[in-house]
Amino acid sequence: MKQIYTAKFLISGNAPPLEDGALLVHAGMIAGIGSRKDITRNHPGIEVVDFSDALIVPLLINAHTHLELTDFPLWVAKADEDSPPGDFVDWILRLIRVKQKLTEKQYRDSLRHGIDQSIAAGTGAVGDILSQHGLRNIYQNCSLPGLLFLETLGQDPAFICRLRAGLNDALDDEIVGKLELGISPHSPYTISLDYLQSLYRQCRTRKIRCTTHVAESAHEVDFVKRGQGPLASRLYSYIGWENYTPEPSGLRPVEYLYQQGGLFPENLLVHGVQLNADEITLLAKNQMSLALCPRSNATLNVGKAPVAELYKAGVILALGTDSLASCDSLSIWDEMAFAHHWFEGQLDAPTLFSMATQGGAQALGIKNEVGSLEIGKTAGFQILRPKTTVASEDIFDYFVSPACASDIIQVYHQGRPQLSASFAE
């Protein structure tokens, strides 16, 4: 069944805003895009859904999130852990304490809530990190495409052997719902050198996409380079890893990943707050993508990513919300608005919008399916109705305003509406 959607403006993501634009959808795919006049004339007799004064916009890409932690604010309150952490390691320790008390049902409910909140926020694809691998079946009937990265970490060789067996069993599924399975070697400070090397070899050999947290905090830099600091003295002692504290590598985190074979385009890096000029050059040389999570970084007070230098160097940039353990929503609209302020004009509004759409799609390896409204791509789009008049030249400034998240009136995945509220309300 074919259908035409029209609105005051259509923003494709790869061309200037189109006034009085129209989108032709057939069998869940985009079959045509152009002016209302041309599309309706060339396809007579097809039902037209007119959104009048609204905007048709591509769905956004959340390149890094932990949806299983969506209910974290509730868990913290129930666990009487709601006092703010003093630093990054305090935050990790609180996260561990809270997670130790959870049941599988709590994780399951939390993941479902995260999926629902993401869709309602205009998200069209995710790079989701899942530590509870057995919950991957929740995505089986989900409309969200993207990557589901199975998280793994560890230092004890015997424990790692068991982890590896379970991980490989889970990876046999290859695809769950509309998501491709990948691997998330957590970070340079939570995984042994041998295990990290073997995971990267596995990903490269089997062409499995992966994602790694890196250079998130100064504590991480100190630990990887010198084998000391709060991660060694407080985190490792708390989780019983005292005997597995690695020898000083003399390397900063990105250099360390490079030495372990971790700098290849299919490994999506996350955070990149603590980067110097040489590391940025190294990332660009290896065609790396980096998911930025500015709200999480601000909450944890770990610093600010050098976005101007990253962008200039040609590193592929995307946006992620991280989890509700360090952020207050799963909305990439909110992330864009915060980033525009946080980075103090280093990235303009069109660039941020591109990061939230095409950048995220490229970072996840799904740019041929989502990220822009083009013929042959999945019909994933959202309808925004601004509360005040927005002129053509102001659209991208509107996109980085706090208003966007609340202006969504409908979301379409594969050409199907996802929200119960309709544009007619």
Closest CA to 257 of 305, 317, 186: 186
Q: Are 99 and 71 in contact (CB under 8 A)?
A: no
Which phi and psi (to 5°) does residue 12 adopt? -80, -25
Q: For position 220, what pLDDT does the model report?
A: 98
Q: For position 420, what pLDDT does the model report?
A: 76
CA distance 380 to 59: 6
How many C-beta atoms lie closer than 10 Å to residue 85's C-beta?
17
Q: Are 214 and 252 in contact (CB under 8 A)?
A: no
pLDDT (mean) for 167-190: 97
How many residues would you count in the chain? 425
Closest CA to 357 of 375, 326, 380: 380
CA distance 206 to 425: 49
pLDDT (mean) for 134-161: 96
Residue 173 in this model has a pLDDT that exceeds 80: yes
CA distance 423 to 425: 5
CATH class, domain 2-58+372-417, is: mainly beta
Q: For position 82, what pLDDT does the model report?
A: 76
Residue 81 in this model has a pLDDT that exceeds 90: no
Q: Are 310 and 274 in contact (CB under 8 A)?
A: no
* Level-2 CATH architecture, domain 60-363: Alpha-Beta Barrel (3.20)
4 strand-pairing partners: 24, 48
Q: Where are the domains of the chain?
A: 2-58+372-417, 60-363
> What is the residue-averaged pLDDT of the chain?
96
pLDDT (mean) for 86-111: 96
Q: For position 423, what pLDDT does the model report?
A: 39
**Which stretches of 233-276 are DSSP H helices?**
237-238, 253-259
* Block residue for tokens 């309709």: 422
Split at pLDDT 50, 70, 90, the class of 4 is very high
Closest CA to 378 of 125, 64, 128: 125
Q: Are 263 and 257 in contact (CB under 8 A)?
A: yes
- Where do the DSSP E strands lie in 116-207? 123-130, 146-152, 175-176, 179-185
CA distance 161 to 95: 25
Split at pLDDT 50, 70, 90, the class of 84 is confident
